[in-house]
Amino acid sequence: MHGIPVYIDGWPAVHCMTYGLMGLFGGILLGVAFYKTDNNIVAPWVAHAIVDSPLMLLIFGV
């Protein structure tokens, strides 16, 4: 799913694949965090929010 919006915007396929792989490995790390915290969703949720915060600042120009 991470690669689809990038491809629609006209990026080359290699950028789409790279973005998709980053999402894949990020998801694996979030899954490990979920597993290591005895199936507690808070740790991966907070980690995802921390990783997305700088991106949101760049997108919205804050």
Return the number of other C-beta atoms located less than 10 Å from residue 54's C-beta. 9
- 3 pLDDT higher than 60: no
pLDDT band at 34 (very low <50, low <70, confident <90, very high): very high
Can you spell out the DSSP letters for 11-39? --HHHHHHHHHHHHHHHHHHHHHHHHTTS
**Average pLDDT in the chain:** 81
- Better-predicted residue by pLDDT, 37 or 17: 37
Residue 60 pLDDT = 80
Q: How far apart are CA 12 and CA 59, in angstroms?
A: 20
Both tokens of residue 31?
């899954």
pLDDT band at 41 (very low <50, low <70, confident <90, very high): very high
- Better-predicted residue by pLDDT, 21 or 42: 42
Q: How far apart are CA 17 and CA 24, in angstroms?
A: 10
